[in-house]
């Protein structure tokens, strides 16, 4: 079956540091890939997505590139802010939207940004 | 538009009690999902509904029932709550077809004592 593996935290960085959160996946076919963010006490919000190899998703200064050859979708940001403190989930869907299997999620990475 | 709404936001139950978690959407999406979120486990699918009147089991359906009586609403029922069902429950929707982005509600935090 499908699976997503991401680095577990917490990850603690200083403001303006460079961020990388690693995500790798296993899928039987050609999935769509997502990063969702969950701020304290809230639900999940879509941060970015990519649907085919070499696509780059980007939003709010975050980027991730769909690497089929390494089955990875690492999340990066050049300069993090305190407001980026949240839990980040890598996820995949196969078929589109997930169908009866829903989205397959990683366990989440808790990011803490210190002033 | 409210998007995806869930009620209640918080609930405390005693073992053996029953309750229904409600989810409603005004996005005119076809598919709806219930997930549970546990520490260190990510989100796991409980049930899925592709359309009104149809439901399918997900990864962790035991102890739950669902109902999709119309396009807008998808409810999750715990008939006899157990401490293992202490979790945060999220409802999500998907337009369907070739679209691939699910939209999530704010969640219900359930504690079973």
Tell me the per-residue pLDDT of B10-46, one tens digit each, with 9 for 90 and over: 999 999 999 999 999 999 999 999 999 998 888 999 9
Q: Is the distance from CB of B90 to CB of B105 less than 8 angstroms?
A: yes
B35 min Cα distance to partner chain A (Å): 9
- B8 or B99, greater pLDDT: B8
Q: Which of B108, B104, B63, B82 is nearest to B14 (CA)?
A: B82
DSSP string, A18-79: -EEE-EEEE-SS--EEEEEEE-TTS-EEEEEEE-STT-EEEETTEEEE-BTTTTB--EEESS
Q: Is the distance from CB of B70 to CB of B23 less than 8 angstroms?
A: no
What's the confidence (pLDDT) of residue A83?
A: 96
Q: Is the pLDDT of residue A58 over 90?
A: yes
Q: Per mean pLDDT, which of A55-59, B48-52, B95-99 is the most reliable?
A: A55-59
Q: How far apart are CA B41 and CA A108, in angstroms?
A: 8
Provide the token pair at A95.
Answer: 């078929």
Assign A30 a pLDDT band (cuts: 50, 70, 90): confident
Provide the token pair at A93.
Answer: 């869907």
Query: Which of B46, B102, B106 to mutate to probe the A interface, most A CBs <10 Å?
Result: B102
User: What are the CA-CA distances from residue A27 to residues A92, A95, A104, B20 (Å)?
Assistant: 9, 10, 10, 34
Q: Is the pLDDT of residue B7 over 90?
A: yes
Whole-number average pLDDT of chain B = 93
What's the confidence (pLDDT) of residue B57?
A: 94
Tracing tokens 């998007």 back to the chain, one arrives at B3
Q: Is the pLDDT of residue A43 over 80?
A: yes
What's the confidence (pLDDT) of residue B80?
A: 96
Answer yes or no: do A102 and B99 touch at CB < 8 A.
Answer: no
Answer yes or no: do A107 and B41 touch at CB < 8 A.
Answer: yes
Contacts of residue A4, Cβ cutoff 8 Å, sequence gap at least 6: A23, A24, A25, A26, A90, A91, A92, A104, A105, A106, B42
Answer yes or no: do A89 and B43 touch at CB < 8 A.
Answer: yes
Is it true that the peptide bond before A93 is cis, omega within 30 degrees of 0? no
Q: By CA distance, what is B45's nearest residue in A? A: A102
Q: By CA distance, what is B100's nearest residue in A? A: A97
Q: Which of A59, A4, A52 is nearest to A32 (CA)?
A: A52
% of chain B exceeding 70 in pLDDT: 96
DSSP string, B45-86: EEEEESSTT--EE-S--TT-EEE--SSSB-EEEESS--GGG-
What's the confidence (pLDDT) of residue A40?
A: 87
Q: How far apart are CA B103 and CA A107, in angstroms?
A: 19
Query: Which of A36, A39, A44, A94 to mutate to probe the B interface, most B CBs <10 Å?
Result: A44
Of B40, B59, B105, the CB nearest to A107: B40
Contacts of residue B7, Cβ cutoff 8 Å, sequence gap at least 6: B21, B22, B108
Contacts of A97 in chain B (CB under 8 A): 31, 94-96, 99-102
Of B43, B56, B95, the CB nearest to A105: B43
What's the confidence (pLDDT) of residue A96?
A: 65
What's the confidence (pLDDT) of residue B48?
A: 94
What's the confidence (pLDDT) of residue B40?
A: 80
C-alpha B105: how far from chain center: 9
């Amino acid at each position: 079956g499908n699976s997503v593996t991401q680095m577990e935290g917490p990850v603690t960085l200083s403001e303006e540091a460079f961020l990388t959160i690693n995500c790798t996946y296993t899928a039987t076919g050609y999935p769509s890939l997502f990063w969702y963010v969950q701020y304290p006490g809230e639900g999940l919000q879509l941060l970015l997505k990519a649907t085919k190899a070499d696509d780059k998703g980007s939003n709010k200064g975050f980027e991730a590139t769909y690497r089929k050859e390494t089955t990875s979708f690492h999340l990066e940001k050049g300069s993090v802010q305190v407001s980026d403190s949240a839990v980040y989930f890598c996820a995949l869907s196969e078929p589109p939207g997930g169908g009866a299997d829903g989205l397959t999620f990683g366990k989440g990475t808790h990011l803490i940004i210190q002033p | 538009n409210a998007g995806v709404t869930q009620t209640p936001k918080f609930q405390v139950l005693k073992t053996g009690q029953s309750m229904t978690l409600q989810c409603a959407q005004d996005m005119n999406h076809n598919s709806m999902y219930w997930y549970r979120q546990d520490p260190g486990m990510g989100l796991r699918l409980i049930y899925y509904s592709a359309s009104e009147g149809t439901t399918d089991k997900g990864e962790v359906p035991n102890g739950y029932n669902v109902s999709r009586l119309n396009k807008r609403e998808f409810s999750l029922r715990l008939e006899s709550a157990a401490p293992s069902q202490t979790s945060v429950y999220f409802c999500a929707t998907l337009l369907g077809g070739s679209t691939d982005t699910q939209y999530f509600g704010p969640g219900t935090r359930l504690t079973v004592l």
